[in-house]
Structure 1
C-alpha cells in the first residue's frame, strides 16, 4: 500500500493538471459535495492514477475515459473509524463484497483478537491482503495483548517494545482501544505505549465505558484521543469537554446513534468532533441496512444536516487520524475515493470509486476480490 505521496506522484499529478498528460478518468456532470467549503455545486472531477487532479468546473483536461454522472452527488468515500474484522467472521477479501458497495473505502481495524492469539505474525498475515483489496485497511495497533495479563493464556504478547516497532508500519495509524484501568492504575508498560505512539504523532484510541468526572480527566490527560463507548448524551458531552473526539457507534449489539444524535441536535452541540464507527457489526445486518452509509442516513433522518453527517463519515475522521492530506475529501492531490449517489438524504451508492478505479456498481463489486 502506498499511502503517502512520493516525488514521482506529486510530479505526475502536477504535470497532468498542467495538461502535459491525459487524465485516466473524468467524472463529468456531478454535484460535488465539498466537505471543506461546505458547498454542493456542479462540477467535474479529473483523476490520474489514484489521485484527484482537479475539481475545477471550468477545467478542460483530456481524459482516457469519461463517465457521465448525470448530476449525481459525488461524495467522499466513507471511513469506519473503529471496527473488528473478527466480529464479521469474514476475511478482508470476503468483507469487501459487503461493505464496499455501501460506499465504505477505509476501514480502521483493531485486530485485537487476532493479535491476542497469533501476535505479530497474525497481524502480518492480515496485511498480506492489502494490495488486493478494493478498500483501504488501516491498523489500530492492539494495546492489550494479552487483554487480562495473568488471567488468560491466549498465546501471544505484544509488549511496549513490540508495539513501538509495529507502530512504525505505514498501515499503523493509532494505538488501539486502551481501557481506563491501564491508566488509572498507572501501569508503566501502557504509559510507555502511549508515549511512544504520541512521539510518532499518531493517536491513541479510547475505551472509557462509563467514566466521568476526574477519572475521565485523568484518562484524557494521558493522551487518549477518542472514545467509542458513549451511550448517553451526557457521556458524549463530557468527552468533548476534555478534548476527546467521539466515535458515534452503530453496531449490532451496541446501537448508540439515535440517543447520541438526538442529544447533539437538541443541545445544538458542534459536530466537528463527531465521527462514525461500527465497532462490531454482523455481516447480515450490514447487508440488510448498510454500513457507514447507514450511520449517515440515520443521522440525517433524525434531523442532522446532510453536510454535517457526511463530514462525520469523511473529513472529520481523516483529520482525527491526521490523514486528511491523503483522503477524506474530494480535493486536488487526495486519493480518488468517490461514491456517486442520486439522493443525498438516503445515500445508496450507484458507483464506488476507490483510488481512481470503479470498484462497485449498483450494489455489487465490479470484480471479485480473490483470496491470495
Structure 2
C-alpha cells in the first residue's frame, strides 16, 4: 500500500451498506470507507478522521465503480440509429459508414458526451475501443476529451483503417501509438491500449505485427471477435494471451473458451447488442463454466443506452434462461435446484462489472474492490424513495438499480457526483456536444436520417 502524506485529500464515507467485492472483507451491513489521496485507506465500522470530508451514506449501498470493457464512445451522438438494426449490414450502412464524416472536433465532442454520460451513470472506468482513428489528430482529440472528464480510461487506439484492410495504412498508426504510449506512461487515469484490426479484414501477419508492438510497449489489447475460429487461430499463431480482451466471441466453441481460460484471459460481453443482433448467448454460460473471466460492455450507444445496470440485469436473465432451456431439453421439468444449477446469482453480475472488468483493463491488483490499498473508485446507490429490496443488496444493485439511482461517484478519491448532481461536469454540455456533432456530420453526409433531430 502506497505511503500517505498529510497534505493528501481525505474523504470519509459513513454508514453505507458496503459491498466490498473482496472475499476477505465480505459485506458490511453498516460500514465506512476512508479514502486518502487516490486510494482507500480503511474499510470498517465506526471509522473516524477529523481532517476528512464526510459523506453521509446512511441508507445507501456502496459498490466499486462500474467498468465498461467494450464501448465505442465516438458513436454516442448516433444514439438510436441502430435501434432496429438486425444484420451487420444494417450496422455498416446506418452507423459505421458515418465514420469518414467525423472530423477531429467531432471525435472530441462525441467522446466528451459519452464520458460525461458514463460518469453520471456510475461508470467510473471504461475500455474505449476507438476504431475511428482517421488521423493522429483524431486520436489526440479523443484523448483530450477523456482528460477533460477525468474518467478512468483505457483508450484503445483503433488499428482499423479502410475496411479493405489495406496494410499500407499501418505505418503512421504504429508510429503514433508508440509516441502516445511514451507520453502517457502506465499510470494515472488515462492509459493507452490497442484495438487490434479485425482479423477477418486483414492478415494474421498484420495482427502479429500489432500484437508485437503492443507487447513491446506493455499495452493491453482488445479486438472484435466475430467469426468462428479466430481464438483458435490466435492460439495456433502463438499470439493468444491474457493481455488481449476479445469482445463478443459468441461463436467461440468450448475448446476456444478453454484456451482463453488456460492463459488467464477473459471476454467482454455486450449482452444487449449481441442479443438484439440475434447472436447465440450460450457462450455466457459456457465461458463462466470454463473459468473465463467475463466482463460487460455497452458496445454502441447507437443501439442501446449507456446503462451497465441494464447490461448486468439482462446478462443474469439470459444465463438463467440458458440454464432453464438445457434443463427442459434434458427432461428435467418442472425445474428444481441441483448442484451448479442455476449457475449464477445476481452477485456474479456485479463481479463481472467490477472485479473481472478491472482485470480486463489491466488493473486487477488495484481496482474493482473496496479494500485498503485499492484505487478509490466508488459508487453510492440510493434506493430511495421506493426503498431497498429485501435479501442480498447485490441483487438490488443488479436487478433494481437505474442510472438515476446513482447518488455519488468517486474516481481516484475525487468526488465527481454528489447528491445526484455532477460536481465539475455538466449534463447540458454532453447534450450540446451531441447536437453539435449531429449538425456537422449530417450536414457533411448530406442529410440527417429520418427522425433525427439536429
- 2:309 corresponds to 1:293: yes
TM-score by length of 1: 0.78
The 5-angstrom pairing of residues 103-122 of structure 1 reads 103-113=122-132, 115-116=133-134, 119-122=135-138
Equivalent in the alignment of 1:138: 154
Structure 1 residues 172, 352: CA separation in 2 closer, same or farther (over 3 Å shift)? closer
Residue ranges of structure 2 left out of the alignment (5+ in a row)? 78-108, 321-343, 384-395, 434-454
Bigger Cα Rg: 2
Query: 2:348 aligns to what?
Result: 308
Q: Residues 151 and 354 from structure 1, CA distance in 2 versus in 1: closer, same or farther, beyond 3 angstroms?
A: closer
Q: Is the 8 A contact 2:224 2:247 kept in 1?
A: yes
Matched residue of 1:331: which SS?
A: coil
- Where does residue 219 of structure 1 map in the other structure? 234
Q: Contact between 1:23 and 1:61, CA under 8 Å: does it hold in 2?
A: no
What is residue 28 of structure 1 aligned with on the other side? 14
For the residues of structure 1 that align with 2:248 and 2:299, how far apart are their CA atoms? 10
Compared CA separation, residues 267 and 94, structure 1 to 2 (3 A): closer
| Worse-superposed segment, 251-260 or 84-93 | 251-260
Q: For this pair of structures, how many residues does the alignment match?
A: 342
- Which position in structure 2 is the counterpart of 1:72? 60
Q: Given the alignment of the two structures, is residue 247 of structure 1 paired with residue 268 of structure 2, yes or no?
A: yes
Relative to structure 1, the CA distance from residue 143 to residue 92 in structure 2 (aligned partners, 3 Å threshold; closer, same or farther) is closer
Conserved 8 A contact 2:149-2:425: no
Point out the more displaced range, 26-35 or 357-366. 357-366
What's the C-alpha RMSD, in Å, of the aligned pairs? 3.4
Q: Determine whether 1:84 maps to 2:104.
A: no
Distance verdict in 2 for CA 1:128–1:162, change over 3 Å: closer
* Mean Cα deviation higher: 264-273 or 169-178: 264-273
- Structure 1 residue 141: deviation in Å? 1.8
User: Pick from 357, 365, 369: which aligns with 2:422?
Assistant: 365
SS at match of 1:108: strand
> Residue 44 of structure 2: SS of its match in structure 1?
coil
Deviation at 1:62, TM superposition (A): 2.8
- Secondary structure, in 3 states, of the residue corresponding to 1:206? strand
Distance, in Å, in 1 between the alignment partners of 2:424 and 2:226 is 41
Shift, 1:230, TM fit: 2.8
Specify the SS of the correspondent of 2:207. helix
1:276 to 276, 296, 301: 296
Which structure: greater helix fraction? 2
Offset at residue 316 of structure 1 (A): 0.8
CA distance in 1, matches of 2:297, 2:199: 20
